[in-house]
Amino acid sequence: MVVLGLWFVAPALAAFPGANGVLAVQPASGGGIMLVTANGRVVRHICTERKQCGVPRGPRWSPDGRAIVFAGPKIRIVSTDGSCLDCEFGAAPNPVFEPGGTTISFIQHGRVTVDGIDTLRKLSPRVSGVTDAVWSATGDLAVVRDGAVWMGRPGRLHRITVAGQPSWAPRGDRLAAVQRGWVVIEHLRDHHVQRLARGSAPAFSPDGRWVAFVAPDHRLMIAAARGGRAREVGHVRAVSVDWQPRPPGHNPGCVPPPGSKILASTPDAVITQDGMLPPTAIGPLAYMGCLRANGRERLIARYANNIDEASWVTSAVLASPYAALTERSADEHYGGQSDVVQVVDLRTGRAGDGGESASCPPTTLVPCMTIDHAVVGSDGVSAAHSIGVAQNGSLSTPLLDGSCAPASAVCVALA
């Protein structure tokens, strides 16, 4: 997913409809992501630790305003407190959420590429030769190709104007863009182009009435979408900005990536699996965990898997806020496998404790040990039960023939 040649291309984005929340700002200095009110008050400064977040660029809100995706240079999804929801993506510029919030899109080798929020690849539209792309809340696509903005449905894109950095209005009826150093608004019904102010990185407000942007001297500004004098947002100096749709008052619940299946579920939490299990299929697997109390989908385990070795979860149990996963690793080439219990805190996604294990060496000279049952308490303490099977040719003798009497519990076997 490395596209270094596009790293410094300014991103497109969509304003998802709703009430106006805070601004997510990539500051001109100091790193991290600043969450700022429209009047300039800094609410929070997140993702300042490089070990976890890298160097965040182009933060973009999810449709429900509860998560932020950015590149740094690896793609990361974080919650509004800065904790990782998924920090296991590869490197690519300008990631944005798609409508629905369970997938993200980015540009890979000039093509629009789509991953689930658990990093697994999804069916992508056949759109290539672009440097940026963003979906509207109504399902239209805007891309930047050859220095111009194109829009429409995949396969039916038409050229709109010579510009870059497109930003959808929440109803999909207008596009803000940057044209020769000016922030402009393209009215899609009559194709009227309205000049707003000098600047870059425009972002419509979720109510469609305002546009935030960055002035040439890095001042963060807001202007009315209908036109008029822009005002400065406090003393914030920015590189890019996106406007949060204020999260709904109710909990939206746990919404896993499309195609996932439930592995474990209680009234308090749920664990889902995305991908096909070995040995029938070899490929990536991802496991998401979510506490129903906050509705945050977190990546809790991911396995790349190949023809030589593979790992997967054989069972999962829940005791909120903890989950215990029995992880099986198998050597697909030489044989042998091992089981290990991992305890994950669903509040943070961090794994710890657990450690109960059993193994099957690639030899028939010793018994094969596997974990057939694991439990976990609400304090994170786990336990596991293992069973041993003596493999053929070691401690066991194969039965060559046998017979049971009808309606009898008596059987005779020939060893």
Q: Tokens for 106?
A: 């980015």
Is residue 295 within 8 Å of 254, Cβ to Cβ?
Answer: yes
**pLDDT value at residue 13:** 61
Continuous segment of H or E residues that includes residue 314: strand 309-319
- Give the domains, in start order, of the chain with CATH numbers: 4-245 (2.120.10.30), 261-389 (no CATH)
Give the other-Cβ count within 10 Å of 392's Cβ: 10
Residue 408: pLDDT over 90: no
DSSP code string of 28-71: SSS-SEEEE-TTS-EEEEE---HHHH-S-EEEEE-TTSSEEEEE
Q: Tokens for 341?
A: 């219990």
- The Cα 222–Cα 204 span in angstroms is 10
HSE value, Cβ hemisphere, 13 Å, CA-based, for 172: 13
> What does the buried/exposed string (b/e) look like for 97-116 if buried means 16 or more CB atoms within 10 Å of the residue's CB?
bbeebbbbbbbbeebbbbbb
Find where tokens 């696509």 sit: 141
- The Cα 33–Cα 347 span in angstroms is 21
Of 6-15, 69-78, 252-261, minimum mean pLDDT range: 6-15
**pLDDT value at residue 139:** 87
Given pLDDT bands bounded at 50, 70 and 90, which one contains residue 194? very high
What's the rounded mean pLDDT across residues 167-196?
95
Given pLDDT bands bounded at 50, 70 and 90, which one contains residue 9? very low
The pTM is what? Answer: 0.87
Residue 251: pLDDT over 90: no
Given pLDDT bands bounded at 50, 70 and 90, which one contains residue 8? very low
Instruction: Kindly provide the residue ranges of all beta strands, DSSP E only, lying in 117-257, ordered along the sequence.
Output: 132-135, 141-145, 148-153, 156-161, 164-168, 174-179, 182-187, 192-198, 200-204, 210-214, 219-224, 231-245
Quote the longest CA-to-CA distance of the chain.
Answer: 96
> What does the buried/exposed string (b/e) look like for 226-263 if buried means 16 or more CB atoms within 10 Å of the residue's CB?
eeeebeebeebbbbbbbbbbebeeeeeebbbbeebeeb
Return the SS3 of 128: coil
